[in-house]
Amino acid sequence: MGETIFQSHGIIGRGTCVSRAKTEVKGMEKEVIVKWSWPAKTRTPEADLVKIATELAITSGDSWVLNHLPKILHAEQKEFDEDSLQRHLSKHFGEAYELRVLRI
C-alpha cells in the first residue's frame, strides 16, 4: 500500500479509506487506487452500481458516460463470522444495530 488519499475520521459512517497501491498485471507493474469501507450490509455494492451504469451507457448509446465511471479491476465483500463482536452486538441490540460488511 502506498499513500493514503482519503480517510474518514467520523465515528458514524462507513469508515472509508482510499489509498494508492501497485499491482502486477500481465507482467507489468501498474498503479491503482484501493478503496475499502464498512457500509451497511443492506447497501447496494458500489461495484454493482458501476456495472449497471456501464451497461446502460453502452445499450443507450451514451458512451460518453464511460469516461466518467471508474474501471473496477476487483471487488469483494467480507462478512463477519457468527462469533464476531459485530454479530454479538447485533444480537444484543436487535434492530437498533446495523450490520456492516467490509467492501474492497
pLDDT for the residue 102 = 96
C-alpha cell at 13: 459512517
Cell reading at 43: 447497501
C-alpha closest to that of 43 among 16, 70, 68: 16
Summarised one tens digit per residue, pLDDT across range 15-50 is 999 999 999 888 999 999 999 999 999 999 999 999
% helix / strand / coil in the chain, to the nearest 5?
A: 30, 30, 40
- The structure's pTM equals 0.82
Tell me the pLDDT tens digit for each residue of 48-98. 999 999 999 999 999 999 999 999 999 999 998 989 988 899 899 988 989
> With 90 as the cut, is the pLDDT of residue 10 above it?
no
At residue 7, the pLDDT reads 95
